[in-house]
């Protein structure tokens, strides 16, 4: 299963935990590219995201 979570700095640890628990793999964390910022929000608070956490 592929998973991608957009998250802000504050919620990045939650996103990492979710990926570890759901995917049982070590998560990848990337800085969000500028061009995606306009449509993305943090999954936990709705603010501008800073990172993408994926498996």
Query: In the complex, what is the shortest distance from the CB of residue 10 to Zn ion, in angstroms, rounded to a whole number?
Result: 5
Residue 5 binds to Zn ion (criterion: CB under 5 A): no
Q: Does 37 bind Zn ion (CB under 5 A)?
A: no
Residue in 31, 43, 46 with CA at minimum distance from that of residue 6: 43
Interface segment toward Zn ion; rule CB under 5 A; list 10-18, 19-27, 30-38: 10-18
Bridge-partner residues for 29, per DSSP?
53
Tokens 């996103």 belong to which residue? Answer: 15
Question: Residue from 12, 16, 19, 42 that binds Zn ion (CB under 5 A)?
Answer: 42
Task: Quickly list H helices, 1-55.
Answer: 12-23
């Amino acid at each position: 299963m592929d998973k991608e979570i957009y998250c802000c700095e504050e919620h990045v640890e939650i996103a990492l935990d979710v990926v570890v628990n759901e995917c049982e793999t070590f998560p990848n964390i990337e800085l969000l590219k500028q061009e995606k910022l306009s449509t993305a929000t943090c999954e936990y608070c709705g603010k501008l995201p800073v990172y993408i956490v994926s498996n």
